[in-house]
A = this chain, B = another copy of it.
Amino acid sequence: MFANTPITVAKGDGIGPEIMEATLHILKEGGAGLEIEEIEIGEKVYRRGNSAGIEQSSLDRLMRTKVFLKAPINTPQGGGFKSLNVTTRKLLGLYANVRPCVAYDPYVRTKHPGMDVVIVRENEEDLYAGIEYQHTPDQAQCLKIITRSGCQRIVRYAFEYARRNGRKKVSCFTKDNIMRLTDGLFHRVFDEIGPEYPELEREHLIVDIGAAKLADTPEVFDVIVMPNLYGDILSDVAAQIAGSAGLAGSANIGAKYAMFEAIHGPAPRRAGQNLGNPSGLLLGSVMMLVHIGQADVAERVHNAWLRTIEDGIHTYDIFKDGISQEKAGTQEFAHAVTARL
């Protein structure tokens, strides 16, 4: 049906291998045309003395396939290990991190029914540039870097995303009453580019006020674009109050490459017990299917997943008040999804 698209896959750490297996099983049954190359990343690679958690040969492969489906990994504490997430985002130029946070009321417990927010997080700059230094044991500094071209790319991405997906409003959060040059630049670029999208409503909020509103009445937001660190914090907030951080997928998009993942971590204590929830990774891979031009498979898989949730089939981490439910293991959950394809 499709020419198979080559993608690179990494199973990661903790519950990673189990949820990746479940996800790939569903994708295959759903008819995705994928040619899968596997690489090793994370803890095992760090332990071999590689401070980035990924070998050069794996990076080369990634760059050939251009599309990367990544399970969560563990970064060992201390010892100069660098975050693989941050490294790949920077090496591959993945400037946009897109995180849809949707309430599945009444099928998943939420205090915020009707919530449907997409956080578009700048993914390379800000305090994540990784420039930190310590002159004396008593003082440390970290550089927050914001560039005009970085702002332009992410702000345009947010408006294009909103237009492409029939969204109505783009909000921008910064703290430019304090950081007038850095966050001010982000805000200014938002005001410059916004008018090119006259059909979209737009607004700017100081991030503390925006965050409070997002946590209290998320249903008033649609697409929100923001610098890296705010996006890190507030996408976790939004995913969690929508129902669970375990249900959110994430697309990391660049001009040449793209990486798809779950927003949650590897949950090492749950590993190897058939307990992990593959939903976040599966929804990440649904975004991947759209990205590689297999939108109808994406829709089929997404719908099967929705029907599974609606039928009350859940892994152990998901709560839903007052509705009969079945507690499924990772594999049982995956089979329930494939049965609904």
Q: Which residues of A contact B (CB under 8 A)?
A: 75, 83, 86, 111, 127-128, 130, 132-134, 137-149, 175, 177-182, 184-185, 207-209, 211-213, 215-216, 229-230, 232-237, 239-241, 245
Inter-chain contact B215/A180, CB cutoff 8 Å: no
Cα A161 to Cα B294 in complex, Å, equals 57
Q: How far is the CA of A284 from the CA of B147 in the complex (A)?
A: 39
> In this complex, what residue of B is CB-closest to A149?
B138
The distance in angstroms between the C-alpha atoms of A234 and B214, with both chains bound, is 12
| Contact status A208-B181, CB under 8 Å | no
Which of B132, B175, B236 makes the CB contact (< 8 A) with A182?
Answer: B132
Partner of A143, one of B83, B143, B177, B235: B143
- The oligomer's copy count stands at 2
The reply to whether B139 and A148 contact each other, CB–CB distance below 8 Å, is yes
- Once the chains are docked, how many angstroms separate the CA of A83 from the CA of B232? 26
With the chains together, A177 CA to B177 CA distance in Å? Answer: 27
A233 to B127, CA, bound (A): 16
Closest to A143 in B: B141
Expressed in whole angstroms, the Cα–Cα distance for A144 and B239 within the complex equals 27
Known contacts A232-B208, A233-B233, A237-B211; A177/B83 CB under 8 A: yes
Question: Per a CB cutoff under 8 Å, which of B146, B182, B215, B235 touches A237?
Answer: B215
State which of B137, B140, B215, B230 has its C-beta within 8 Å of the C-beta of A215.
B215
Cβ of B147 and Cβ of A138 under 8 Å apart? yes
28 A–B contacts from the bound complex (CB under 8 Å): A83-B178, A111-B111, A127-B179, A132-B181, A134-B181, A138-B149, A139-B145, A139-B147, A140-B147, A140-B181, A141-B145, A141-B146, A141-B181, A141-B182, A142-B146, A142-B181, A142-B182, A143-B144, A144-B144, A175-B229, A208-B236, A212-B239, A212-B245, A215-B240, A215-B241, A216-B241, A230-B233, A233-B233
Minimum distance in angstroms from A158 CB to a CB of chain B:
20
Least CB distance, A178 to chain B, in whole angstroms: 6
